[in-house]
Chain A
Amino acid sequence: MMSLKLAAAFLILIALGGFLQFSYDSNIDYFAEHDAFVSFPTSKTLKILSFGNTNFVADMLFIWTIQFYSSLHIKNRFDYIENIFNIITDLNPQLRAAYYYGAIIMALEAREFKMAIKLLKKGSRNMKQEWIFDYESGYYAYKYLKDYKLAEEFYLKASRNPEAPSLIKRRRAHMVYVRDDLELALRLWMEIQANAKTQVEKDAAFNHLYQIKFEIETKALGPKINAYKERYGRYPIHLEELKRVGLIESIPKDYLGDEYLYDNKTGKIRAKRMYKWKKLF
């Protein structure tokens, strides 16, 4: 009897508590944008305060950080980002995920590409065995900073790592290509072709070589065609004519040995094959 009464009282009270929680929740906008205040001691102090459990503290901090950066309603969350990831990676310089995801958050969310690259550089300094950091830096430099020279440097550095996949060499070669050093690009792709092991690699090298050869030759041929026009007041009808008047020594062929397509109305040269080579690094 007594137990029944108590049980009933308990149920009523717990229900009332739930109701209060409900009314509390409806009064609060949990996801109202607001600023958060985060303050950290320096990593040195934290190291001391962790009493030797620096890795543990770093892990905890990292977990917290990931939560923090997925709280989209905190407006000023990027104010601290560089500092936080520096502390984490100071505490545990071997925390690969911290560099990797830290850079992703910095680049893709905070749009701080230089900051991301800086963090990745620190990663590659501290973890010499990893190529992924330089690879990522290369990507950010290429994709967002459009600094192809910088990107090439990163890819080059990453490709020196014996663990690095062959893809990185191809990326580097591509960087060389996009920054218009066609001769070097041609050489690099030939090297890649020579060392290719898989069909994908072979195809990629072939496509690039085809395109680069074409571009080198168009580049050389363009001024000759223009010179011909200046001299005779019209574009040559065939490329043969250029050879005949002595502007070129031989007619260039594409990488497969076929002739280029020449439009004598516009004076433009097209390659026979147009590859979707951009997709295939």
Chain B
Amino acid sequence: MKLRAIAINTFKEAVRNKIYYLLIAFGIVFAFSSRLVSLLTLGDQVRVLKNVGLASINFFSVLIAIFTGINLIYKEIDKKTILNIMSKPISRRDFILGKFLGLSYTLLVALVSMATVFLLFLLISTGDIDWNILVYFCLLYFELLIIISISLVFSSFSTPILSSIFTINLYLIGHVLWTFNEFKTRLVEPITRIIIYLIYYILPNLEKFNLRDQIVSNEKINPMIVLTSILYALVYIAAMLTLAILIFNKREFK
């Protein structure tokens, strides 16, 4: 009940902010622009359509995740509304979990609306729907959840500007981390090896949630890999939320 109250309120706050709609609208507009771009290229129009469309939805949903995620917690502390909430019989844990649930719901609504419009658009312009795209959106959603759990960790102790810089950096790192596999065999010195391996396994590895290449080139998607990715997402989110609660428990509200 208390958790739900925080979650619903978080959702309400996000939804009453015009930026949220603006970003969704941009996502949709850019997805539509894939049609335009596909007209400008030669051949492979369907591929271009999917590629550009999925990329724009990806981009804007990540943007929503980062900015609503960081903004909502920080605002709470900055505008001191948190004094009012934390003086009620609600634990810090429930506050963080409630925020997380509210944000996940906010993102779900954003993603579903963009995805629905895009799928309809695809259906109209190509005459059929590649259902693998749903798997793509599903994994994208898990990635978004990881992003907001990370932004919760950062905003539980730092300012929004720093939090967004940290979160964006982790997001970018998360997408190039896999290239580590290319040079890991070259690491010989044991200490650097251990440190770099540790960092590699601790940082969020996000490229696995990006199935765009497979979707666009109509490759088969391995369900085992999708399941491992989802499991990874769940574990990672749990870890981040634990960390956020750990930090938030120590926080004072002046």
Interface, chain A (partner B; CB < 8 A): 2-3, 6-7, 9-10, 13-14, 16-18, 20-25, 27-28, 30-31, 35-37, 39-42, 45
Contact = CB atoms under 8 A, between A and B. Distances in A.
A40 B208 CA distance: 24
Given A25-B181, A41-B40, A17 B51 contact: no
B225 interface: yes
Contacts of A9: 242
B242 A13 contact: yes
A18 B182 CA distance: 18
B216 interface: yes
Nearest to A28: B225
Interface string B231-243: 1100110110011
A13 B235 contact: yes
A37 B40 contact: no
A20 B228 contact: yes
B17 interface: no
Given A14-B239, A18-B201, A39-B48, A7 B246 contact: yes
Contacts of A42: 40-41
B43 to A, nearest CB: 9
Contacts, number: 78
Given A3-B250, A7-B246, A37-B51, A24 B225 contact: yes
Interface in B183-226: 200-202, 205, 208, 213, 216-217, 224-225
A17 B201 contact: yes
Contact of B47 (A2, A3, A37): A37
B230 to A, nearest CB: 10
B155 interface: no
Given A3-B250, A27-B228, A30-B182, A14 B202 contact: yes
Q: Is the interface of B mostly helix, strand, loop or mixed?
A: helix
A3 B246 contact: yes
B78 to A, nearest CB: 25
B232 A17 contact: yes
A45 B242 contact: no
B208 A24 contact: yes
Given A3-B250, A28-B225, A37 B232 contact: no
Contacts of B239: 10, 13-14, 16-17
Top 8 A-B residue pairs of the complex, sorted by shortest distance between their CB atoms? A18-B201, A13-B239, A6-B246, A20-B232, A10-B242, A41-B40, A17-B235, A30-B181
A39 B213 CA distance: 12
Nearest to A36: B213
Given A13-B235, A27-B224, A27-B228, 9 more contacts: A3-B249, A3-B250, A6-B242, A6-B245, A9-B242, A13-B238, A21-B200, A22-B201, A45-B37
A39 B246 contact: no
Interface residues of B, number: 34
Nearest to B184: A25
Contacts of B213: 36-37
Q: Is the interface of A mostly helix, strand, loop or mixed?
A: helix
A16 B181 CA distance: 19
B181 A39 contact: no
A42 B36 CA distance: 12
A18 B205 CA distance: 9
B246 A16 contact: no
B106 interface: no
A36 B44 CA distance: 13
B229 interface: yes
B229 A24 contact: yes
A14 B243 CA distance: 10
Contacts of A14: 202, 239
B157 interface: no
7 contacts: A10-B246, A13-B236, A20-B228, A21-B201, A21-B205, A31-B182, A40-B41
B143 to A, nearest CB: 14
Given A20-B231, A27-B224, A28-B225, A39 B47 contact: yes
B21 interface: no
A64 to B, nearest CB: 12
A80 to B, nearest CB: 12
Contacts of A36: 213
Contacts of A7: 246
Given A6-B245, A31-B182, A18 B40 contact: no
B228 A23 contact: yes
A24 B181 contact: no
Contacts of A41: 37, 40-41
